[in-house]
Copies of this chain bind each other. A is one copy, B any other.
Amino acid sequence: MSVFVPTPASVPPRDNVLRLREITNSPNYHALTPLAFILRAAQIYPDKIALIHTDVEQPVVYNYAIWAQRIQNFAYALLKFGIQPGDRVGVISPNAPLIADAHHGVIAARAVVTTINTRLKPSEVAYIVEHSQCKLLFVDYEYTSLVAGLNVPVIISNDTGRAGDPYEEFLAGGREFSKERGWQGLEPETDENKGAVLCYTSGTTGRPKGVLTTLRGTYLACIANAYEAQLNRTSTYLWILPMFHAAGWTFPFATVFAFSTQITLRTVNYTHIWNHLLESGVTHYCAAPTVQIGLINDSLAKKPTQRVTTIVAGAAPTAHTIAGLEKIGIYPVHVYGLTETYGPFTRNYAQPSWDSLTLDQRARLMARQGNAFATAEDARVVYPYPEGVTDGPLVDVPRDGKTVGEIVTRGNIVMKEYFRDPEATKKAFAGGSFHTGDLAVMHPNGTIAIMDRSKDIIISGGENASSLAIEQELSTHPDVLEVSVVARQHIKWGERPMAFVVLHPQRVDTWKGRYHEFAQALKTHAKSRLPGFACPEWVEVVPELPKTSTGKILKLELRKIVAKL
């Protein structure tokens, strides 16, 4: 690390004015924008470490002063390139400085940062680039094959932070173009309802949809995330969650609001993660339950000296996971949300009375999705529209903990729209609320609990197997387009996983009439990746999976099928 010196273009001038230009005459109003955060951080804690990137040959570390300058260079370089307000700028990158920079730099140029999942196929990337009409793409060197042949200018990052890296040259060009006009030379955005981040959901039906967030929503969601996670200037946030996933739950900005230090990791590598937890003072990270399980079971796992808070979403953490985490001083905060809700929209709020409960009782309560987040408007559970009805007033289900309805959300922490898809937007916003497609009950105390998810745990031979985790592993098989796993009664083990699989269109012919062979192949694949109790006992190939109007798999329907077997 001691040999790293930021490129000259990254060094701010001495008399740096870290303030946006005032272009309106409103003394008592300013547009909410997350760009304010990096400016404040660089003003107040210029020497504090902002970004650490070490799991690479050539590690880099930036303090807030230097990072803010790089972001300013980024913005000027975009202007130099010809990026106009509202243009989309794409980024294909693992967690690395490039994508962290881009979140702030693109917004500083009043453009929309379009983060693209690195795990997609070239054809899917091509669709997103085309649909979002990206004017420029930033691509990490490892993912250049994803954009081969695309007719869009590409800036490649070799993730070195050193002179000679095309990305660094790009930033240096921005600095030069700025003619040292600094932040005051950039046109500030005055409309807080303009787009901020565009993030395509990995749609399970049809084409992916582009979720466009606003500056106002991002600002408010960030503050909520920083507040709820109790992030502050003494915090160190470790990037395990990909930044391209659901706009990184706004943590690319929330960490900066809080003056925290971020550590980026290119891959989910448990050795690296544990090294950072034990040696780098990590206090916060976001991750899905499967990653938490991997963390607990890693051979390096032991209690860090600092208290660690982990934000868990995607599925409820099990009692086993909670106990495993708390034993090593990691305290989970269970949140729920979607890309369309800027990530977390509800949180499971611990109650003082839980202190006297057993772990199992507490885990059951912690599994609930809870109540609306700090700056969110309400989350409700409503009756689905009757067959044939697509709009109209929404009616709450009774608060009985039994009646299943759909979670709908409203307010500032709901996306602006599905980009260039007014029809899907209209459908998702039917009745004046966003339809999550998640089925849930409302408990008498007003807390929401997703039904489809609480049953995702398969108790197989006394072990808790997460159907989500199994699905994730099965879906790595190249012939699997989509998979859903539910519990099926088993005479010996109590329950065993049953997988419903939709074959990849290009492989349907290959396996035609040989589904039994495919099932064997998938089981073999599973055995190499999952503990025995989590391997599917049954594999059923189906033409499609039952889904809600917004594309969520209806596990309840699958369970009905299984119950009849």
Contacts and interface: CB of A to CB of B under 8 A. Distances in A.
B410 A30 contact: yes
A232 interface: yes
A432 B27 contact: yes
Contacts of A409: 27
Interface stretch (A14-22, A104-112, A242-250): A14-22
B227 A30 contact: no
A268 to B, nearest CB: 30
Nearest to A29: B412
B432 A30 contact: no
A223 B45 CA distance: 21
A30 B19 CA distance: 28
Contacts of A353: 47
A230 interface: yes
Given A27-B434, A28-B415, A372-B40, A410 B223 contact: no
A25 interface: yes
A217 B30 CA distance: 10
Contacts of A26: 410, 432
A474 to B, nearest CB: 35
Nearest to A39: B378
A149 interface: no
Number of copies of this chain in the oligomer? 2
Most buried by B among A380, A411, A433: A411
Contacts of A28: 214, 217, 410-412, 414-417, 429, 434
B29 A446 contact: no
Interface of A: 15, 18-19, 22, 24-30, 32, 36, 40, 43-48, 193, 214, 217, 223, 226-227, 230, 232-233, 257, 349, 351-353, 370-372, 374-375, 377-378, 380, 399, 409-412, 414-417, 429, 432-434, 445-446
Nearest to A231: B227
Given A30-B377, A40-B371, 17 more contacts: A15-B399, A22-B433, A27-B409, A27-B410, A27-B411, A27-B414, A27-B432, A27-B433, A28-B217, A28-B410, A28-B415, A29-B412, A36-B377, A40-B372, A48-B352, A230-B230, A230-B232
21 contacts: A15-B399, A19-B380, A22-B433, A26-B410, A27-B410, A27-B411, A27-B434, A28-B214, A28-B217, A28-B415, A28-B417, A30-B411, A32-B412, A36-B377, A43-B372, A44-B349, A44-B371, A45-B349, A48-B352, A230-B232, A257-B374
B412 A30 contact: yes
A374 to B, nearest CB: 7
From A28, A47, A351, residue with most partner B Cβ within 10 Å: A28
Contacts of A230: 230, 232
A411 B29 contact: yes
A43 to B, nearest CB: 5
Which of A29, A370, A416, A429 has the largest count of B CB atoms less than 10 A from its CB? A29
The 4 closest A-B pairs by CB, nearest first: A30-B411, A28-B414, A25-B432, A27-B429
Contacts of A257: 374
A438 to B, nearest CB: 16
A22 B412 contact: no
Nearest to A19: B378
Contacts of A36: 377
Contacts of A40: 371-372, 374
Nearest to A36: B377
Contact of A18 (B24, B45, B446): B446
A299 to B, nearest CB: 34
A40 B447 CA distance: 12
Most interface-central of A46, A377, A429 (chain B CB within 10 A): A377
A47 B351 CA distance: 10
A412 B31 CA distance: 8
Contacts of A374: 40, 223, 257
A134 B281 CA distance: 55
A415 B230 CA distance: 29
A39 to B, nearest CB: 9
A223 B433 CA distance: 25
Nearest to A258: B227
Contacts of A429: 27-28
Contacts of A445: 46
Contacts of A399: 15
For A371, A378, A417, A434, the residue with the greatest tally of chain B CB atoms inside 10 Å of its CB is A378
Nearest to A341: B28
Contacts of A377: 30, 36
A374 B231 CA distance: 13
Contacts of A214: 28
